[in-house]
Amino acid sequence: MKAFFLASLLVVAASASLLQEHAVKFQAFKMAHGRTYLNQVEEAKRFSIFRDNLRSIEEHNALYEQGLVSYKQKITKFADKTKEEFKAFLTLHKKPTLSKTTKYVKTGVAVPDSVDWRQQGQVTPIKDQGNCGSCWAFSITGTTEGAYYRKNGKLVSLSEQQLVDCATDVNDGCQGGFMTETLPYVEQYGLQSEETYPYVAQDNACSYNASKVVTKISSYVVLPVEDENALLEAVATVGPVSVAIDAYYIDSYGSGVFEDADCSPDFLNHGVVIVGYGTENGKDYWLVKNSWGTGWGEEGYMKMARGINMCGISEETVYPVV
Ligand SMILES: *[C@@H]1O[C@H](CO)[C@@H](O)[C@H](O)[C@H]1NC(C)=O
């Protein structure tokens, strides 16, 4: 009886210190992400969600330490959100319906073992879409910035806000949008710079000014579906390519080559940009530029397993030509 009592006390003490440890981490999280909550009830709710996510991250990373998974997780800005809340933030629309696309034709040219367009100065710094479902706009500016660089040898950050506010024929601004279907807008109107049309992460009235346009595009090229060899060739010989993925499993991605059998080509819900590829610890990967700030992943980037259509990365792929 005495021993049982002592053991119970120890359990209580251990869970109290774990609670303490989690509270410290939650405090650090709130500081890092400028979080304030409406009231104590909300704070308690968020702390509870945070602890659930933290436990799940720690379990995953224990598997990583044992060499059983190829990527690490970490606390990201989504750590106080439930999976349902995170899912609601993934708002890429899909089902390409365009007739007027150019199809990519493979050349069969030999490509290098690895490519990183960041090192060629073709990629702008990591951006943050904030609390707005505008991934599609970031994917399109990212690939267009590459195309513009290719043509003009200059890197100019292009305006997502213009797409959110003005490309409303087919898109729903912060409520989501398409990638390929946005390119006809860019073809017709062109894109202003980030500087003249800054990002504010909310739907506003269109204030497009044609005389401030940096570039239009002349066409856009759609790659064959589920053909990662074509994708490899295009990334190597052309530059950054806009792709759609299932992002449901990557909220806590920290580093390494992401691979998860549950990640599905049937649920494309997020637009990103492939800016290179390579191999790490024997695993081939795509180098993916995301729009969730530098606090997520590897300074805002992720390595996605390559050659197995991971998360549907080769389902919907397109790049523009300036
Ligand atoms: C559009 O931009 C030009 C050039 O910067 C400027 O002179 C003009 O006033 C702008 N038009 C509007 C409606 O803001």
Question: Domain count of the chain?
Answer: 2
Q: Considering the domain boundaries, does residue 205 fall inside one?
A: yes
Domain of residue 49 covers 2-69
> What average pLDDT does this structure show over 94-105?
74
pLDDT digits (tens, 9 = 90+) for 141-175: 999 999 999 999 999 999 999 999 999 999 999 99
Question: Measured from the CB, is residue 209 less than 6 Å from ligand 1?
Answer: yes
Q: Are residues 8 and 121 in the same domain?
A: no
Q: Which residue has the higher pLDDT, 103 or 217?
A: 217
- 290 part of the active site: yes
Q: Are residues 37 and 174 in the same domain?
A: no
- 33 part of the active site: no
Q: Are residues 64 and 125 in the same domain?
A: no
Q: Are residues 48 and 100 in the same domain?
A: no
Q: Are residues 120 and 214 in the same domain?
A: yes
> What average pLDDT does this structure show over 47-53?
98
Q: Are residues 103 and 128 in the same domain?
A: yes
pLDDT digits (tens, 9 = 90+) for 10-33: 566 678 899 999 999 999 999 999
* Probe target for ligand 1 pocket from 209, 213, 214, with the most ligand atoms within 8 Å of CB: 209
% pLDDT > 70, the chain: 94
Q: Considering the domain boundaries, does residue 127 fall inside one?
A: yes
Atom 11 (ligand 1) nearest CA? 209
Q: Considering the domain boundaries, does residue 74 fall inside one?
A: no
Among the listed residues 53, 171, 269, 290, the single catalytic one is: 290
Q: Are residues 57 and 88 in the same domain?
A: no
Query: What CATH number is given to the structural domain containing 201?
Result: 3.90.70.10
What pLDDT sits at residue 71? 98
Q: Are residues 142 and 22 in the same domain?
A: no
Q: Are residues 116 and 165 in the same domain?
A: yes
What pLDDT sits at residue 1? 52
pLDDT digits (tens, 9 = 90+) for 265-306: 999 999 999 999 999 999 999 999 999 999 999 999 999 999
Residue 12 has φ and ψ, to the nearest 5°, of -60, -45
- 93 part of the active site: no
Q: Are residues 6 and 62 in the same domain?
A: yes
Q: If you average pLDDT over every residue of the chain, what do you get?
A: 94
Q: Considering the domain boundaries, does residue 76 fall inside one?
A: no
Q: Considering the domain boundaries, does residue 132 fall inside one?
A: yes
Q: Are residues 253 and 204 in the same domain?
A: yes
- Record the pTM: 0.93
Question: Measured from the CB, is residue 210 less than 6 Å from ligand 1?
Answer: no
